Amino acid sequence: MSGAATRVVIAGGGVAGLEAALAVRQLAADASVELITRDASFAYRQLSVVEPFTDAKTVRVSYDALRARGITVTLGLLSRVQAPGHLAVLADGDSRRFDALLVAVGAAPRMAVRRAITFTGPASSDLLRQLVNDVDRGAVHEVAFVVPRGVTWALPLYELALQLAARRTAARMGAEARIITSELRPLDVFGSTVSAHIERMLERARIAVDYGVEVSMPSPGIVVAGSAAPRPVDRVIALPVLTGRPISGLPATADGFIPVDSAGRVEGVPGVFAAGDGTDSAIKQGGVAAQQADRAVATMLAEHGVDVPAPADPPSLNALLITGAETWYLRRRADSSHGEISARPLWWPPSKVVGHHLSPFLDALTPSGMVPNLQPAPAASPLEGDA
């Protein structure tokens, strides 16, 4: 591969984008690699679930660490792809010629339950921190956690509910938690073994669960789960549903996601690949996004004459579940229907996002941030008249 002749452009500075940039740099040292991102730094969004309950802050990593590896980082937003001329056009009108383009622009969150607090990661931390303070003061007695029907990733809602329950147990006071989910079993994407374990975990934590239902909130403080009677709650926290971010010049599904084949090629657009939440993949999760990026990079480089070995292991779904009292490692391989759950790390480093290149990169920069200090922040003293 000739560095003078080959330009790899990566649009998106999230998990898939960083994994791809690091992979290209390691596997094809002569290639020119440019990462285009709208963010000034990488936010470790997956750890934001602990912020309302601990003193932890969202870990942010400067893109200078990428620049130090010879990766050009440009602030910008991909707006249009001109496939015949191999041109990536940015929102400000600037453009980049490419030999290979990987689109990793992610998905857009959309409110699923009107009047609920929509959890979108770090941007929701202040609202949830205030909710936890209200629980500690005795001003909130029941919180409903909602996994809506549609394209979403359910695990953060279980983490929030379990951490609230753990706080209640530790303080011997606090709000009741209820999960209302469109899933038939908890985290059923991980298979029956993991779902059964999570069911027992929820039962021990005294978290009630309504499965296989949709939720509406017709008025403040009232939720309706499926055909059940309306019930009063003090607060509702819901996940958003995700939609794609269509790019002019690229195909898109009705929901805006980019259709790709198993190797990450964008359908009908030679030289263009896509990975991560913005693709039409059924699962929107960081570890999956990283694996998609690795497959796309391997195919991309092979098409440009670089001999890249195929991944030895089958793809797998890996996730770290933080409960406030324990940390659990969940994994389901593509060739298994059961999955596994363990209190001991099933991968290394034991990061929240599992990426072959990204995890060691982040671990070297933020060794204390991969699995944060999970000691809960002290509960506020109940105010007079709030009990």
How many other C-beta atoms can be found within 10 angstroms of the C-beta atom of residue 93?
7
Between CA 83 and CA 90, with CA 88 as vertex, the angle to 5 degrees is 140
pLDDT of 175 reads: 80
What DSSP string describes 304-369?
TT---PPPSSPPEEEEEEE-SS-EEEEEEETT-SS-EEESS-SSSS--SS--TTHHHHHHHH-TTT
Residue whose C-alpha is closest to residue 125's, from 114, 136, 117: 117
Residue 18 backbone phi and psi in degrees, to 5: -70, -40
What is the rounded radius of gyration, in angstroms, for the C-alpha atoms of the chain? 22
Task: Confirm if 178 and 143 have CB atoms less than 8 A apart.
Answer: yes
Residue with tokens 């995700």: 242
| Residues whose CB falls within 8 Å of the CB of residue 282, separated by 6 or more in sequence, listed in order | none
Residue type, 47: L
- 218, two tokens: 């017709």
CATH superfamily entry for domain 109-240 = FAD/NAD(P)-binding domain (3.50.50.60)
Q: Which CATH architecture has domain 7-38+76-107+244-303?
A: 3-Layer(bba) Sandwich (3.50)
Domain boundaries, the chain: 7-38+76-107+244-303, 109-240
Distance, in Å, from the CA atom of 147 to the CA atom of 11, rounded to the nearest integer, reads 30
Per-residue pLDDT of the chain in tens (387 residues, 90 and over written 9): 444 458 999 999 999 999 999 999 999 989 999 999 999 999 888 889 999 998 877 888 899 999 999 999 999 999 999 999 999 999 999 999 999 999 999 999 999 999 999 999 999 999 999 999 999 888 999 999 999 999 999 999 999 999 999 988 776 667 899 999 999 999 999 999 999 999 999 999 999 999 999 999 999 889 999 888 999 999 999 999 999 999 999 999 999 999 999 999 999 999 999 999 999 999 999 999 999 999 999 999 999 988 887 776 778 999 999 999 889 999 999 888 889 999 999 998 888 889 999 999 998 887 554 555 444 444 443 322 332
Distance, in Å, from the CA atom of 40 to the CA atom of 185, rounded to the nearest integer, reads 39
Domains 7-38+76-107+244-303 and 109-240 share a fold: yes
